[in-house]
Chain A
Amino acid sequence: MEFFEYRNVVIETPNSAEAEAYRKLELNIQMMSIDQKTQVIQCTSATPEDGKTTTSINLAAVYAEKGKKVIILDFDMRRPKIHRAFHQPNDKGFYDYITNDVDYHELIIHDKSGIDLMLTGKHMSFPHIVLESHKTIDMVQALRNEYDYIIIDSPPILSVTDAMIISSYVDGIIYVVAYNKTKKEDAKSGLVQLQKNNSRVLGAVLANIDVRKNKVYYGYYGKYTSENKDNI
């Protein structure tokens, strides 16, 4: 058992250096989207607990702060976390849409933060089959007409195939790497898998940094391109 809690610094400490770093991330995504629309964004990483969920919720908070209509889809059905981050019960959600044909609008939580949420709901046994189903893709497509931004919190790449499946219907991927935690080899092989899949990686987020202890990295967000991939 492990105690963990998520901090949404954009909401809790909007004037902090950490919050500002997430605003820079949003700006970087915007810059990457001049010629190519980026509406559906997947947050993933190589290994578990690298900071995907924290990145998802803070990026969503930046969009909400800007008055954009944003939803987070928790597509990590094996270890869902979005409900924890928003202090919501997780008994209703995507499961009901898939299994019981409930209208997905009824399952969307309108959180007081201004961010909408689709939680996983009850446990599903074969997430990879669900994630590549037409029903899932249809929902994501329909949400494009209802939201400015859709952020998908997904499982790590090296653990299961789910993240690769999701990457086929998103506009871009944010690749989260945890400072002092993610192994260099793991970070590289995750990225290689995404490349082989022809996924559009928007950039990498270097998470888990204590900005007070690591001033040199202050607010750093690395933009991934094929030229600098070896630096990750």
Chain B
Amino acid sequence: MVDIHAHILPFVDDGSSSLEVSIELIREAMDCGVKNQFLTPHFMKTRNFLSVAEENQKVFQSFKETIKQRGWDINLYLGNEIYYSIDVLESLRKKHILPLGNSNKVLIEFSLSEMLEDMPEAVHNISSLGYVPVIAHVERYSYLNRLDDIKILRRMGAMIQVNASSIVGLSGKTQQAKAMKMIKLNDVDFVASDVHASRLNHMKQAYALVLKKFGRDMAEKIFNNQSVL
């Protein structure tokens, strides 16, 4: 499994505030079957999560070493979950914020409750810098209900990520139905954990559910999308 969205890196955002907890989160990811784990700290001005690439790299290298010493069979990659505003374009140019691992894909999120930014504009702007925007937890945006809009964003070059917790129904029936419908319409590129210390990892259950409903090909396509490696 490939998990492109997780707040496991310690000390850098609201994900984990201790090394022990972060190690435990990695162990849980491995239990779920994750072989490639992206660590994607928030970059979010409004909540003051502004640790830049250079700082994150230091923490990441040290954390990676800790996991390596345990001999665990998991690959770790660094990225960011970027809360979109027009200013992040300059941060991307300056490489203060990171794409996912060595790929050209950038994980972006928006306000969950109200449309503060024009999503197609965001997709255009990031694409025109040479990156592929991956829109995080699409099912969670309350104002993005037309499934045709997801198709438009994809046509513009965006990729779509949904949360495992939404698939298993932990975010309510509406978000679950939306996520399932998107999978059915072949509009999901990645399922990810979006795990924090405060939230359990649901990748295993979500995989089982998708496997049961849509078959192995679909489950592998969206839980084991290698295009980001």
Q: Is A3 within 8 A of B121, CB to CB?
A: no
- Is B112 an interface residue when CB atoms closer than 8 A count as contact? no
Nearest A-chain residue to B129, judged by Cβ: A89
Nearest B-chain residue to A80, judged by Cβ: B121
- Number of B residues contacting the other chain (C-beta, 8 Å)? 20
The 0/1 profile, CB within 8 Å of A marked 1, for residues 116-160 of chain B is: 000111001111110000000000000000101100110110000
Q: Is B119 within 8 A of A91, CB to CB?
A: no
| Chain A residues with a Cβ under 8 A of chain B | 1-3, 83-84, 87-91, 122-123
Q: How far is the CA of A89 from the CA of B120 in the complex (A)?
A: 12
Residues of chain B with a CB closer than 8 A to A122's CB: 86
Chain A proximity of B142: nearest CB distance (Å): 15
Chain B proximity of A113: nearest CB distance (Å): 14
Nearest B-chain residue to A86, judged by Cβ: B128
Q: Is B152 within 8 A of A3, CB to CB?
A: yes
Q: How far is the CA of A123 from the CA of B152 in the complex (A)?
A: 23
- Is B89 an interface residue when CB atoms closer than 8 A count as contact? yes
Q: How far is the CA of A3 from the CA of B148 in the complex (A)?
A: 10
Q: Is B87 within 8 A of A1, CB to CB?
A: no
Q: How far is the CA of A87 from the CA of B130 in the complex (A)?
A: 10
Task: List 8 additional A-B contacts (Cβ < 8 Å) besides A84-B124, A87-B127.
Answer: A1-B148, A1-B153, A83-B125, A89-B126, A89-B129, A90-B86, A90-B124, A91-B125
Chain A proximity of B36: nearest CB distance (Å): 30
Q: How far is the CA of A123 from the CA of B118 in the complex (A)?
A: 11
Chain A proximity of B82: nearest CB distance (Å): 14
- Is B90 an interface residue when CB atoms closer than 8 A count as contact? yes
Q: Is B86 within 8 A of A1, CB to CB?
A: no
Chain A proximity of B13: nearest CB distance (Å): 24
Q: Is B119 within 8 A of A83, CB to CB?
A: no
Q: How far is the CA of A88 from the CA of B124 in the complex (A)?
A: 8
Q: How far is the CA of A91 from the CA of B117 in the complex (A)?
A: 13
Query: Chain A: interface secondary structure?
Result: loop
Q: Is B124 within 8 A of A1, CB to CB?
A: no
Residues of chain A with a CB closer than 8 A to B124's CB: 83-84, 89-90
| Chain B residues with a Cβ under 8 A of chain A | 86-87, 89-90, 119-121, 124-129, 146, 148-149, 152-153, 155-156
Chain B proximity of A77: nearest CB distance (Å): 14
A-B contact count (CB 8 A): 35
Q: Is B120 within 8 A of A1, CB to CB?
A: yes
Q: How far is the CA of A91 from the CA of B125 in the complex (A)?
A: 8
Residues of chain B with a CB closer than 8 A to A3's CB: 152, 155-156
Interchain Cβ contacts under 8 Å between A and B, 27 examples: A1-B119, A1-B120, A1-B146, A1-B148, A1-B152, A2-B152, A3-B152, A3-B155, A83-B128, A87-B127, A87-B128, A88-B128, A89-B89, A89-B124, A89-B125, A89-B126, A89-B128, A89-B129, A90-B121, A90-B125, A91-B86, A91-B87, A91-B89, A91-B90, A91-B125, A122-B86, A123-B86
Chain B proximity of A25: nearest CB distance (Å): 27
Residues of chain A with a CB closer than 8 A to B152's CB: 1-3
Interface centre among B90, B125, B126 (most CB of A within 10 A): B125
Q: How far is the CA of A87 from the CA of B129 in the complex (A)?
A: 9
Chain B proximity of A4: nearest CB distance (Å): 9
Q: How far is the CA of A88 from the CA of B121 in the complex (A)?
A: 11
Chain A proximity of B207: nearest CB distance (Å): 30
Residues of chain A with a CB closer than 8 A to B156's CB: 3
Residues of chain B with a CB closer than 8 A to A89's CB: 89, 124-126, 128-129
Residues of chain B with a CB closer than 8 A to A84's CB: 124
Chain B proximity of A165: nearest CB distance (Å): 25
